[in-house]
Structure 1
Amino acid sequence: MKETVKEVFSAVVPITVLVTILQLTVAKLPTNVFINFIGGAVLVILGLTLFLIGAKVGFLPVGEMVGSSLVTKGKLWLILFFGFVIGSAVTVAEPDVQVLAGQVDSVSGGAISKFIIVTAVACGVGIFVSLALLRIFLRIPINYLLVIGYALVFLLALVTSPEFVAVSFDAGGVTTGPMTVPFILALGVGVASVTGKRTSSSDSFGLIALASIGPILAVLLLGVFYK
C-alpha cells in the first residue's frame, strides 16, 4: 500500500502544485473553480490509490492464473477466443477509454456515439490480444508484427479523415491504462510461463505492445466508413 500511495502522489501532486502556482501568479481562476480543482485532486488521489491497490491485489493474480489455466486446456482456439473476450472486457472497463469516448461523443454532437467508440476500441484490443497470444505459440518475432501493424496504420491514415487519425492514436494511448495493462500483462505471463519458455516476461510485454495497435486500426477503419 505504501508503494502505491507513493506512486499516486508522484503522479497527482506535481500537476496540483503547478496549477496552484499558476493560480497565484498568472492564471487567476475563479475561486470556486480552484477550490473544486483542489477537492477533485484529493478525490483523485484517494480513488486512484484504492483502484491501483485493487488491481494489484485482485487483477494481477487472477490474470496470471486465467492465462495458465487456459493453456492447460490444450486448445488453441479456446485460448484465442478467451483472449479476445478478456481483452475486450477489460478495455470496456478502462476509465480512460470511457473518458475518450465521452469526449468524442460530445465534440461530434452525438454523430459518433460513445458506444461506437468503446465497441471499436474494445474489439481492436481483443483481436490483437488474441494475435499476441498466438505469437507466443508460433514464436513469431514481435518486430515483424509491429512493423506490419504500423504499416497498416499509416496506410489507413492516408485514406481516413484527419479527425479520426488524431482520435485513433489517442485510443491507442488510453488502452494502456491502469485497468488494461495489469490484467493483460498478467494474462501474457500466465500463458507464456506454462508453455515452458524462458522468455515469458518479454512475451507478455510484447502482448501489450501489440494490443495498443488494435484500437488505432479499429478507429481508423471506423473513420473509413464514416468518411
Structure 2
Amino acid sequence: MRGAAFWAVVWLLLFGSVPDAAKAALLRGRVADIDGKPVAGAKLFVYDTANVRRPATFISPPSAGDGTVAITVPPGTYWVVARLKKDESYGPLMPGEKHSGEPAVMDLTAEAELAQEFTVADIRDMGRKRQAIAAELVRLTGRVLDSGGKPVANAYVFASAMKEGSQIPDYISAWTGADGSYTLMIPAGQRYYVGGSTRFPSPAWRASTEVMTPVGKTDVALDVGLALE
C-alpha cells in the first residue's frame, strides 16, 4: 500500500496538471515597424475586455529578433496590442515608445491557436512615413475638452493636413494627463486640422479645429475639442 500511495503521488505531480494545460490556447504574433521590418523587444499586452487603458490581463515575453512572439492564455476572447515600451506599465505612451493602435480582437474560445500581425510606430512619427521632418517645429500645448468644457484624460490629439479621413493622421500626441493636458509638435508655416480623440483615431475621424502654425514662434496654446469619431 505504501508503494502504491507513493506512485499515486508521483502520477499526480507529473500528470495532474495535464487536463488544465490542454485547455490553454496559444496566441502568436509578429511585430513589425511601419517599413515592415521586424521589431525585437516588443510585448503583447493582452486584455480580457475592450478597456486597454488599465493593467493588462497578460503580458507576453519580448519579441525575438525576427519580430515573433507567443503567449499561452486560457481560452477566451481577448483584445491585444503590441507595445515597445521602456517598462511594463500600461500607459500613458511616451515619446520614443511604439504601439500598434487600436487593439486586435482575437477569439480563442474555439481556436487552440491564432496568429496576428502587429505594426508599431513611434507616437511622434506616426503617419510620417513619407514626410520629411520639418526644420522648424511648433509646440502645441493645451487641454482636450469635452462638449461641457471638462478636461478629458487618456485622449490623443492629432493634426492632419486634411479635415477628415480614414487614414492615420499626420501627427499624434501621447495620451493626455488627468487634467486633459497634451503636447504635440508639428511643422511651422502650415495649415493643419486638429482634433482630440478618446481612441486611436481610426477607422474614421474628423478634426474639430483649424490652425495655421506661425513661423518664428515656437509655442502655441490651443485647447482642443473631441473630434467626430
TM-score of the superposed pair, with normalisation by structure 2? 0.21
Between Structure 1 and Structure 2, the one with more strand by share is 2
TM-score of the superposed pair, with normalisation by structure 1? 0.21
Between Structure 1 and Structure 2, the one with more helix by share is 1
Of structures 1 and 2, the one scoring higher in RCO (CA 8 A, sep 6+) is: 1
